Structure 1
Amino acid sequence: MSTSTDHSSDSSSAAETTYDVIVVGAGAVGENAADRAGRTGLSVAVVEAELVGGECSYWACMPSKALLRPGAVLEAARAVPGAAEMITGTLDPAKVLARRDSFTSGWDDSSQVDWLDGAGIALVRGRARLTGPKTLDVTADDGTVTHLTARHAVVVATGSVPVVPPVPGLAEANPWGSREATSVKEVPASLAIMGGGVVGVEMATAFADLGTKVTLVVRGERLLASNEPFAGEAVADSLRDLGVDVHLSTDVTSVEVHDDGTHLVTSSGGSTQTLVAERLLVATGRKPATDDIGLDVVGLTAGDPLTVDDAMLVEGVEGGWLFAVGDVTGRVATTHQGKYDARVAGDVVAARFGGSSEGELDAPDWSRFRATADHAAVPQVVFSRPEVASVGLTEQGAKDAGYQVDVFSYDLGSVAGAAVAADGFTGKAQIVVDTDRGVIVGATFVGPEVAELLHAATIAVVGEVPLDRLWHAVPSYPTVSEVWLRLLEAAGL
């Protein structure tokens, strides 16, 4: 147990406290690492400078999906005669924002703090900085410094921060990041978004639903560049149908603020254009939050991702005490994959330092002590309309990895369950098959509610289920999942 009985962030004087394990960052990822690390009796503390629950709970996953859901429900109803006739209006922005607020608990983390207390995890509020091996200083908002020491391990779960490109005038324009977009109090009349990744397309969808005139500016040739090309094409078409002005292969060369709004000077194909919007959202990427956590004192470089092995142990630090999980590693920037990595790290720490290694040191691939899925089976859902759900490798990614592949696709709208779900149901399913082993290494679904198809594909990829065995997983009729039968038929079964 700790050497101090006062673990409160309200202490008015400097304190020195020792725990077996210290987790820096009390977001969803850090909470999972802390919970798992304490399962063999180790004492655990988490350090948090902002709200317990982190980005996902207050500014990312939960509020963004709460903003997106009403528009999706409305569109689903409009696609079913009998229900469509009852739709006589559009979304109520005030009620959409109020429902969003309920998911963030009004940006109050009391319930999350109560969960930590119930789990026996100490909370130290403030900004942590490494001062040496297994030692940290935590500075609270009032300037109070707490000196923390970990007997065994420190786990860094500080997440990531937005990147603002070096465009002249952009920083001075005080643009929104994803936080400002998802916590908006008043819906702007117009919004320009820089970036065609997940945040860009999701926020373009959400604000278009709320009645905002949205302009999306993307440097690349397509949206969602890390997905299969057909996914980005489908989302671009849908955004245009929603009234979004989509500019692909377009650079923002400068930004100025005028009385009538923010002016973006853009360049595309040798021509220039000025776009004007009330607000500007920059969604051009994120970087690991390692700038000011003291990495230099342990021989690492501030600002760099923390490179880890599959046990989530940070490479280049002697002694085997520093672990990292989530966005800060640069491996996979999703909450669910970060929580998966956190469970791995927590289990490793609990086993390694909690009195029984349980074979952890010699753990093979696919044991619970190795984050193997990060390399081959990462699932992701983009809650655009249509939704994009994918797992594993794209066709090009599989080829780049050296696989010999065949690709099989099927029109989702031709599946009986899709016809029942909605009139005019459109979408596409695709699997990437390693022909040498006869297993699926990647799958992508594009269409309404296709997120619910993804876990079956994830199991097939993780389990490396041979196609001739997968043939015996009979999909229920009439459901959209019947597409699995059609995909396997396309593969020759």
Structure 2
Amino acid sequence: MQREVDVIVVGGGPVGENAADRARAAGLEVVLVERELVGGECSYWACIPSKTLLRSAAALRAVQRVGGAREAVTGGLDVPAVLARRDYWVSDWSDQGGADWLESIGIGLERGHGRLDGARRVVVERTGGGEIVYLARHAVVVATGSDPVVPPIAGLAEARPWTSREATSVTEPPARLAIIGGGVVAVEMATAYAGFGTEVMVLARSGLLGGMEPFAGEAVAAGLRGLGASVRLGVQPTLVERRESGEVVITLDDGGSITADEVLVATGRKPRTERLGLETIGLEPGGWVDVDDTMLVTGAAGNDDRPWLYAVGDLNHRALLTHQGKYQARAAGDLIAARALGRPEQTNPWGAHVATADHSAVPQVVFAEPEAVSVGLTVAAAERAGLHVRAADVAFSSVSGAGILADDYEGRARLVVDEERGTVVGATFVGQDVAELLQSATIAIVGEVPIDRLWHAVPAFPTMSEVWLRLLEALGRPAAKDASEPESEEAA
């Protein structure tokens, strides 16, 4: 069977859905190919279930930090109720709602594994058997996401380790959980399971949250220990054995060992491109896919003469975050529609059809204990980029809104400022409920708002946003210029 449509989207997670939606909204005929569940990893095994598992214990801890409220709490966390709430949010792993939504907006759904077979050609191995070939009049968008990496540690694969999927879909938490890794998945799942009462052991060969400012990882390590978790840094497993009893014994490179009921591997991700058919269009299979700022795949056969192949989301390796993938998909979907319909292309920096913010303003929230959020560049990253920067650091103890939010509130905020341009290029907040501060920092960076102008963005009192005033005070107002003096030799 063979069928021709305007746009083919391979991958039905939130990123693929956004690309398909944008193209369809412009009037193009779109088919979406998905081999598992419409809604993808984020909806069923990542963002949604993980944050749902984390929320109940976080809310309980928040109540316990407020005098007058903590006295009313007489019981502990109801773990079965938490798991039931998670089941509700993942629709009991049914994607009927997603499929119905696609039908309601006129997007065709093809269930099966899609692979490229030359330019503008996608072969779908249907879930129910048989194949169908789709030909794209205008574009193919690949949004197949990524999978967890299981490192080559002796015995690890044979020990049947958990990945993020097993961790977020658990039906009964284990008594003991070992976690290999120190990134976002590792610390969030450590926080969630410690909240359940599981004995958690985190094994990280370096610090936690290495992509953030160092103080963020340090605070999260302290927070996990405060929840009763063990956090061991600077160690690596050398051998993993699943015993007949079901226990997992992990031997470490320092000569020690630990025993757990389950082991979660959270050491990174790899692209789902091994069976994508990249070799049929001149690209190497199995690796990350290179794109330009319009998400057009570089090096693909025919893409230079008549653009047709786009890659959005994890597999282009620009920012492995659902919200950034959706941002890329919106830009790509709109550009595909513009090119198909002969409309003007907006591919200038910050234009509607490019993902400029992927380079300078990627926001991220780690729902750990405490929350750690960041956007833009760290001090180290800014210096590596050749910027002359200055950092301002403030403790949240100086913010009235923080003290009202929780007794003895602990947290820290940092702004990274480009001295030459006088604008914010990075921000990090660590503490309870700091996630809601992130968008203001993102806007400041994307908008390149001058520090002088930020002084006039008055934070309401007494709220957490007052930290912005404290940060500006730490930076200090720039010295006033003498209007009688020339600013440069040219002015003179």
TM-score by structure 2 length?
Answer: 0.95
Partners of 1:261 and 1:17 lie apart in 2 by 52
Q: Which residue of structure 1 lines up, in the alignment, with residue 404 of structure 2?
A: 420
Partners of 2:286 and 2:242 lie apart in 1 by 30
Pick one of 242, 245, 259 that aligns with 1:276.
259
Matched, 1:346 2:330: no
2:212 counterpart letter in structure 1: N
Q: Which residue of structure 2 lines up, in the alignment, with residue 261 of structure 1?
A: 247
Give 1:86 deviation, angstroms.
1.1
Matched, 1:47 2:33: yes
Q: Which residue of structure 2 lines up, in the alignment, with residue 302 of structure 1?
A: 285
Partners of 1:206 and 1:125 lie apart in 2 by 33
Partners of 2:3 and 2:411 lie apart in 1 by 56
2:112 counterpart letter in structure 1: G
SS in 1 for 2:74: coil
Q: Which residue of structure 1 lines up, in the alignment, with residue 227 of structure 2?
A: 242
SS in 1 for 2:42: helix
Matched, 1:444 2:428: yes
Give 1:108 deviation, angstroms.
0.3
Are the aligned partners of 2:398 and 2:470 in contact in 1 as well (CA < 8 Å)?
no
Matched, 1:57 2:40: no
2:214 counterpart letter in structure 1: P
Greater shift after overlay, 63-72 or 128-137?
128-137
Partners of 1:40 and 1:191 lie apart in 2 by 49
Describe how 1:398-409 pairs up with structure 2 within 5 A. Answer: 398-409=382-393
Q: Which residue of structure 2 lines up, in the alignment, with residue 68 of structure 1?
A: 54
Partners of 2:110 and 2:128 lie apart in 1 by 13
Give 1:39 deviation, angstroms.
2.5
Describe how 1:2-401 pairs up with structure 2 within 5 A. Answer: 15-220=1-206, 222-258=207-243, 259=245, 261-267=247-253, 271-317=254-300, 318-319=302-303, 320-353=307-340, 355-360=341-346, 363-401=347-385
2:345 counterpart letter in structure 1: G
Matched, 1:477 2:461: yes
Length, aligned pairs only: 472
Give 1:430 deviation, angstroms.
0.2
Deviations 1:266-320 (A, max 9, x none): 11xxx31111100010000001110111000000011111100000000001232
Give 1:260 deviation, angstroms.
5.2
SS in 1 for 2:256: strand
Q: Which residue of structure 1 lines up, in the alignment, with residue 474 of structure 2?
A: 490
2:234 counterpart letter in structure 1: S
Q: Which residue of structure 1 lines up, in the alignment, with residue 441 of structure 2?
A: 457
Deviations 1:426-450 (A, max 9, x none): 0000000000000000000000000
Partners of 1:384 and 1:16 lie apart in 2 by 49
Partners of 1:63 and 1:387 lie apart in 2 by 17
1:49 counterpart letter in structure 2: R
Q: Which residue of structure 2 lines up, in the alignment, with residue 468 of structure 1?
A: 452
Partners of 2:92 and 2:9 lie apart in 1 by 25
2:372 counterpart letter in structure 1: V
Unaligned 5+ segments in structure 1 are: 1-14
Partners of 1:52 and 1:207 lie apart in 2 by 28
Partners of 2:48 and 2:405 lie apart in 1 by 26
Partners of 1:121 and 1:365 lie apart in 2 by 31
User: Moved runs in structure 1, 4+ residues, more than 4 A?
Assistant: none
Partners of 1:266 and 1:88 lie apart in 2 by 40
Identity of aligned residues (%): 56
Give 1:194 deviation, angstroms.
0.5
TM-score by structure 1 length?
Answer: 0.95
Deviations 1:16-63 (A, max 9, x none): 221100000000000000011123211001000000000010000000
